[in-house]
Amino acid sequence: MMRTFTISLCVAFAWSASLAAAEELTDVSAGEGSGDIAGAGQPQEIDELQAGECLQCHLTTEDGVGELWRDDVHARWGITCVTCHGGDETQPDKELSKRPGTGYRGALTALEDVELCGGCHGDVEYMKERKPLLPVDQLQKYWTSEHGKLLNKGETRVATCVSCHHAHGIREINDAKSPVYAVNVPATCAGCHADADYMSDFDIKTDQYAEYVESVHGKALLEKNDVRGAPACNDCHGNHGAAPPSVDAITNICGACHSYNADLFLGSPLAPAFKERSLADCVACHGKHEITHTSEEWVGAKPGSTCGKCHEQGDEGAELALYFVDSMSSVRQSFDEIHELLTEAETKGMDVTEAEDYVEAARQGLMQARTLVHSFSKPVMEEKLVEISENQAAALEAGYAALRGLEDRRRGLLVSTVLLLVLTIFVALKIRSLPPTS
């Protein structure tokens, strides 16, 4: 399944550098401090980091900012403390480094975070010299996100660049220690979205993370480390433009990985019915964050089944669901019969390779049949079931042929034994009839 892992929720913010701030600080630096955001070209070594007296002081403070900065991706490219915070980095005295006229701004507000990071990350020419392959539309997308919309309205308790990428010690997104590395994204989002007190004023559920970690996607990503195939929050909700998917977008979002399922559903009679009722396609049956492995128990009109949410026993949909259930059950029973037969033949020393090939083809067909449920079409399903039945029948025939071969071997062995015994008796009698030697 296709799965691209884009930059999670605010890469535009990660660089923490504003072109406007840079210009302001460059003017200041003529008489006070160095605000030059140099660094185009090759990244620097740790011992060559440009942070002036700021770094010398903060390496001794308890906040750990100095050590974090030494590992920051921005530090490698010559971006310094004054790029974002202003001040005079040539002054060892704290008061003088923050004196009026140096442009010192200290800790940034939520809006300043976004504007400063976006100032550089939205500048095509600036980024072309440093990270030419990095998108430069993150800031534009952020303002379309739920976070950005709320920030524009004055709500500062929303995610900004530093919420996801941190303020210092920012790492590349493919660094396993980065909070926006694929495996870490769910926990990063949960930092806010799983906090009931923090989210209480936003009327948003806070059980998404708990549901996700138990889902088929969560287990694949967090337990199996499937960073290329398993989706994290940003793969469905977006990164910088993070927002709840609309009802009409669900199939396209799920279809980014499950393309065949999506095509089948969109061509099915249920697609227009779902649209008419404003049902969220895939989510209506599979759920949202708590998605689990599918089961044939889902199909059918009995209470508790997925189909039973909408269909009552006896209606057209329920009859189709019953057909699916009965067909799958019949296929499973045939597999049980084949398994017993081939086990017997193999135990008796017969080669069942040909039969096993037919079994594998039938199993692949069953997997495809389960997918074809999304077509909600009896003719489509019947065509696949015929194919499965043919392969199962071939497997049975190969299994019985192997057992017949065993009987042929036994008869052949019996005949050979009898002939050998007769020959032995004949030879013995012949020897006895020979005259004794002198």
Rounded (10°) CA dihedral 243, 248, 252, 254 = 70
Higher pLDDT, 46 or 351: 351
Residues 310-339 pLDDT 10s: 888 888 988 999 899 899 899 999 999 999
Indicate the pLDDT class of residue 414, thresholds 50, 70 and 90.
Answer: confident
329 within 8 A of 385, measured Cβ to Cβ: no
- What φ, ψ does residue 299 adopt, rounded to 5°? -85, 140
Average pLDDT over residues 270-293: 91
Mean pLDDT within 377-381: 95
The string of DSSP letters for 87-128 reads S-TT-SSHHHHT-TTS----SPPHHHHHHHHHHHHT-HHHHH
End-to-end CA distance of the chain: 91
pLDDT band at 50 (very low <50, low <70, confident <90, very high): low
* 372 vs 299 pLDDT, higher one: 372
CA 53 to chain centre: 44
Q: Is 437 exposed, middle or buried (0-12, 13-18, 19+ CB in 10 A)?
A: exposed
The pLDDT assigned to 38 comes to: 43
Q: Please give the C-alpha separations between residue 146 and each of 9, 160, 212, in angstroms, as whole numbers.
A: 11, 11, 21
Domain boundaries, the chain: 11-171+184-202, 316-427
Q: At residue 241, does pLDDT exceed 70?
A: yes
Residues 6+ positions from 389 with CB-CB distance below 8 Å: 331, 334
Q: What is the largest CA-CA distance in the chain?
A: 137
* Overall average pLDDT of the 347-362 stretch: 93
Model-level pTM? 0.76
**Model confidence at 429: pLDDT above 50:** yes
Report whether pLDDT(26) > 50.
no
Q: Is the dihedral of CA 75, 80, 84, 89 positive or negative?
A: positive
Calculate mean pLDDT across residues 166-179: 94
Q: pLDDT exceeding 90 applies to what percent of the chain?
A: 58
Q: How far is CA 380 from CA 213, 268, 366, 396, in A?
A: 35, 11, 13, 25
Q: What is the mean pLDDT of the chain?
A: 85
Say yes or no to pLDDT of 37 above 50: no
When pLDDT is cut at 50, 70 and 90, the band that residue 10 belongs to is: very low
Mean pLDDT of the region 132-161? 95
Mean pLDDT of 60-86: 86
